[in-house]
Amino acid sequence: MNYSYKGKILISTPDVSGDIFSRSVVLIVDHNENGAFGLILNKKNQNMSSRLLNIFGFPVELYEGGPVENDRVYFILKGQKVTENFIEINQEFYLTEDIDSVVSAIVNSEISISDIKVFSGYSGWGAFQLEGELQRKMWTVVDVYNLDYTLPNDQNLWKNIMQNLGGEFLLWANAPEDVSLN
């Protein structure tokens, strides 16, 4: 493997419709010769977010990280490390599954809930599967995009990135959700 997409943003093309990846923005957390691991940044799960409010007593927005292992919870955190078990995304952000350490850090006011994004499941690709999807133009790679991964995001994130890319992406940004209606 000559190139890793780790730390890059993938945005789905309008050709990807009818499933969880439709109009999605995916952060690639890890990518090597065995495959890729990422999280969808803009698919909020309102129902589960409401249930978490009842559990924790404070608002927690839950995002659909992807269709794989939806029973697992992942956290992207900004700033100081609150656990020894993490994957560094970049100098500012990291990923962990260590729920005990994250909840403890929130309760002890070591970190703010605004510096955390919670995901259910993940997006995964087997060896060279992502490369094949990129060749079929299912995704557009955004090499450099200054984005706070812990900010609350919705479908506007996909549209905003498309608009910022300009050119043919402007057409995609303004296309209807169901491109067959165009």
pTM of the model: 0.91
| pLDDT tens figures, 80-124 | 999 999 999 998 999 999 999 998 999 899 999 899 999 999 999
Which positions ≥6 away from 58 have C-beta within 8 Å? 113
How many Cα atoms occupy the beta-carbon half-sphere of 30 within 13 Å?
A: 15
- Nearest CA to 124 out of 68, 40, 43 is that of 68
Mean pLDDT on 132-155? 86
Quick one: tokens of 22?
């439709």
Give 145's pLDDT tier (boundaries 50, 70, 90): low
Neighbours of 135 (CB within 10 A): 10
Instruction: Please state, in angstroms and rounded to a whole number, the distance separating the CA atoms of residues 96 and 140.
Output: 26
Query: Is 130 in contact with 5 (CB distance < 8 Å)?
Result: yes
What pLDDT sits at residue 104?
Answer: 92
What pLDDT sits at residue 1?
Answer: 58
**If you search the block for the tokens 């065995």, which residue do you land on?**
34
Query: Is 89 in contact with 5 (CB distance < 8 Å)?
Result: no
Query: Is 152 in contact with 113 (CB distance < 8 Å)?
Result: no
